[in-house]
Amino acid sequence: MTRYGSGDGAVAFPAAVPARGGTTAAPGPGAGEGPGSRRGRGGPGRRGTAVRDHQGRWGWLFTTPMVVVLGLFLLLPIGMAAWVSLLKWDGQSNPFSGAADFVGVRNYADLLTGPGQDRQLFMTSIRNNLYYVILVVPLQTVLSLGLALAVHHRRVKGKGFFRTVFYFPSVTSSIAISTVFLFLFQGSGAVNALLKWVGITGPKWFTDAHGLVWSVLGLLGVVDPDKPVPALATHGFLGLSWWDWLSGPSIAMCTLIVLAVWTTSGTYMLMFLAALQDVPVELEEAALLDGANRWQSFRNVTLPAIRPVVFLVTTLGLIGTWQVFDAVYVMSQGAPANTTLTPAYLSYTAGFQDADYGRAAAIAFILLAIILVMTLIQRLLLRERYRDGGSTARRPRARGLFPRRRSS
């Protein structure tokens, strides 16, 4: 997960001077130009041309390194991948010389509609990642908000200590953390030793491919996780049987889910804390005086005020969780039985292990489309409610978002 801590625009910046009329532009289409700095709008003014020419040279000089690096290593790769995804190419020849076979959209067709193993693997990876997203995003959002509320509580002593402890996992490298979790979750590891104290026999985490849903139902005696229900196993959708689609994340995937929630909650807790500090205390006080209990005051005062940050956190969570790669690479490499395979990891192995760069690029593109669609849906929801950007540094306009309940 380029997760933790990689730049995603959610980073606030310290302002020495309060921005004058600062609307913080949201990273997104239609972001405003920000205040000031534009002379002579609508064509050069009297001083315009000379100043612009002079500044133009400097402006381009200043931005050249950025244009070169971002252009070469972020924009060009996208274009190149678009081309390669239409080829059958093993990486040996020059992809632009015509030595590689042009196959059109066959790479995509194989992944989405073909009868072969390509589609089965790809759909399995989508299923795994989907369950990962469905569990990680709500869990990390609720946990980080809960931690923020607890730490933010006025009478909690040692705020700094708790904040440090919860945030620390977020600053460490994903590889180092994955190594630790690999040790903790071994069959005879610390987690199972802890469970034994409570009288539970823990599973062999990394070798258990059973789906969580069937395992739980198995414990209740409804189904046998090792014997698929025929009706579900014989019918299917997109190359996977219903039994596989409905299985839930495997036990092995659950360790990755725990890891993700544990490492990201600190970052999001900080975002929530920043937002909570912006909620005027007197509003909550007023609500409490008006006879609302704590829960009502949280529901009707605090939550509406921090809603933009809730949206921000879920958006970042969605983007991050669809890209899970590092932990898979270190902890499981897709095993057991492909239940921890994710599209990102599949794209990597298709390229670097199978030397099928066309398929690898196609997988990357489908993943990009998934993430874009998710983000767009989020953006639309966001924009409906707030028309003024969404960075953490933004002050939620608490006033007027909700009607103050007056005692009548």
Contacts (CB under 8 A) with another protein, residues 50-89: 51-52, 54-60, 62-63, 65-67, 69-70, 72-78, 80-81, 84
d(CA 294, CA 401): 19
- Residue tagged 């014997």 (tokens): 227
Check residue 215 for interaction with another protein (CB under 8 A): no
Cα angle vertex 189, ends 183, 195, to 5°? 130
Among 133, 312, 361, 382, binds another protein (CB under 8 A): 361
Check residue 101 for interaction with another protein (CB under 8 A): no
For another protein, give the closer residue by CB, 215 or 321.
321
Among 105, 156, 355, 381, binds another protein (CB under 8 A): 156
Ranges within 322-351 binding another protein (CB under 8 A): 322-323, 325-326, 329-331, 333, 344, 347-348, 350-351
What's the token pair of residue 136?
């990680």
d(CA 11, CA 7): 7
d(CA 146, CA 396): 19
Task: Report the nearest approach of another protein to the CB of residue 228 (Å).
Answer: 31
Among 106, 217, 375, 401, binds another protein (CB under 8 A): 375
For another protein, give the closer residue by CB, 172 or 207.
172
DSSP state of 1: -
Check residue 253 for interaction with another protein (CB under 8 A): no
Stretch that binds another protein, among 123-131, 155-163, 203-211, 248-256 (CB under 8 A): 155-163
Longest dimension (CA), the chain: 83
Task: Report the nearest approach of another protein to the CB of residue 322 (Å).
Answer: 7
For another protein, give the closer residue by CB, 15 or 238.
15
Check residue 381 for interaction with another protein (CB under 8 A): no
Site mask for another protein (CB under 8 A), range 289-318, x = bound:
xxx-xxx--xx-------------------
Using CB under 8 A, count the residues that bind another protein.
146
Ranges within 168-197 binding another protein (CB under 8 A): 168-169, 171-184, 186, 188-190, 193-194
Side-chain half-sphere exposure of 136, counting CA atoms within 13 A: 34
Q: Are 342 and 348 in contact (CB under 8 A)?
A: no
Task: Report the nearest approach of another protein to the CB of residue 268 (Å).
Answer: 10
Number of other residues whose CB lies within 10 A of the CB of residue 196: 12
Ranges within 384-403 binding another protein (CB under 8 A): 392-395
Helix intervals (H) in 279-340:
281-289, 294-297, 303-321, 326-331
d(CA 272, CA 81): 37
Q: Are 247 and 213 in contact (CB under 8 A)?
A: yes
Nearest to 363 by CA among 317, 322, 321, 316: 322
For another protein, give the closer residue by CB, 102 or 237.
102
Q: Are 395 and 307 in contact (CB under 8 A)?
A: no
What's the token pair of residue 363?
């997988």
Task: Report the nearest approach of another protein to the CB of residue 348 (Å).
Answer: 6
